Chain A
Amino acid sequence: MDAKKKNNKAWFLVLPVVFVVAFTAIIPLMAVANYSLQDIQGADNRLFVGLDFFKRVATDPNVQDAFARNVTLSMQILLIQIPLGIFLARLMPKSGWKASAALVVVAIPLIIPWNVVGTTWRIFTRNDIGLGGVLVNKFTDYNLSESTFDAWATILVMDTWHWTPLVTLLVYAGLRSIPQAYYQAAAIDGASALAVFRFVELPKLKRVLMIALLLRFMDSFMMYTEPFVVTGGGPGSSTQTLSILLTTIAIGQFDIGVAGAFSLMYFLFIQIFSFLFFTVLTLDERPGATRVTPKEKVKSREKVEKPVNSKLKKVLK
């Protein structure tokens, strides 16, 4: 594929997107930043407090606990969902109407509104009227409004139910892009199923798995609706995620300054993760992987002209 043309008029095509996203992202961010520096009592009663709110939020044990809890939850989610997703994707039918049907069935949890996922599991896990709750109660005491462990496990199972399909679909798509010849070659060599997975499939899935990993991490790091509907963050604050805590502070207590400082720090972490995500995705299209000494600078300037996206496109084809 030939190189892309340099043309700054392309900015006109991008302008509508820039305006829309600026309206929905930058203006709110400006407001949040301003909230974070002042104690707002009323329209005309504002007190500049500098970085006090930042310090208060960063040293608040509730926030620190929620942060640690959220990281733990995300890690557990990744440990369960990535292997399970790969397992399911390898089981999925590969062709014919069965493949279509399987795709639709697998994708269904993804298109259910998040609060309905919560409602569904709230009903399903109830001790009196829910199939799941009644069944589990036959074997062991199960009460998610009293037991911390039960609540946590329910959130974990629910999230696995909700989001493993995303991993499955990603991996399934990745698997289908592996040429049949690879499998035939492996069969001739007499490779075991495990060896086929390790040496044929896994290398090809690396990129897709990286995407799944980062998407699942980011989304679980800002999870709000499902645990809010099922447990409300309880019992106590045992299932309170960062987003639930932030929403409580912002909307519930209307503590604007604290919420603003909280938001900015939260946003910073998201920025860092996004940058890692972006860097990992574009890693193999970053040319000139050697350290540049001043003498070589002229050379590397030529490298800039290379189409940076060509490799990505090869992958996409």
Chain B
Amino acid sequence: MFELFDWIPWTAPIAYVFIGVAVMITGLTIWGHYRPPIRRKGFLGVVTDRSERVYIAIVSFALVMVISFAIVDSNTSVWAISALVMSAGILKWG
């Protein structure tokens, strides 16, 4: 079992990301079990539930980051902060 993972040249950030995703999915599942998610329609114009908004927020964040990478000499941290704000907006009002 273990040798399926240890050929990967692990780096700390990626390990944290995958652990974070696993924790997040588990958390959302437990949360959803005790408090079923509310499906609603926000400014995105589509009916979504809690986990779908989380997914949309993460994907949008990544998309904004990729766009910033494509801009020469862009300031990554400025972009990251604005993308975070946008993602938070999607989580709250999406």
Interface residues of A (CB under 8 A from B): 23, 27, 30-31, 33-35, 37-38, 40, 46, 48, 51, 54-55, 57-59, 64, 265, 268, 271-272, 275, 279, 283, 286-292, 297, 300-301, 303-304
7 A-B pairs whose Cβ atoms sit less than 8 Å apart in the complex:
A38-B11, A57-B69, A58-B70, A265-B66, A286-B39, A300-B40, A303-B39
A46, A54, A286, A303: which contacts B69 (Cβ < 8 A)? Answer: A54
Q: Which residues of B in the span 7-63 have a Cβ within 8 Å of any Cβ on A?
A: 7-11, 13-14, 17-18, 36-42, 46-47, 55-56, 59, 62-63
Bound complex: CA A64 to CA B42 (Å): 34
Is the Cβ of B14 less than 8 Å from the Cβ of A292?
Answer: no
Chain B residues contacting A290 (CB-CB under 8 Å) are: 41
Interface size class of B (residues with CB under 8 A): 20 to 34
Q: Does B72 sit at the interface, judged by CB under 8 A?
A: yes
Question: Do A288 and B41 touch across chains, with their CB atoms under 8 A apart?
Answer: yes
Q: How distant is the Cα of A279 from the Cα of B47 in the complex, in angstroms?
A: 9
Q: Between A and B, how many residue pairs show CB distances below 8 Å?
A: 83
Complex: how many Å from CA A268 to CA B60?
10
Docked CA distance A306–B13 (Å): 41
* Interchain CB contact under 8 A, B42 and A291: yes
Chain A interface mostly helix, strand, loop or mixed?
A: helix
Q: Which of B8, B42, B62 contacts A34 (CB 8 A)?
A: B8
CA distance A25 to B36 in the complex (A): 29
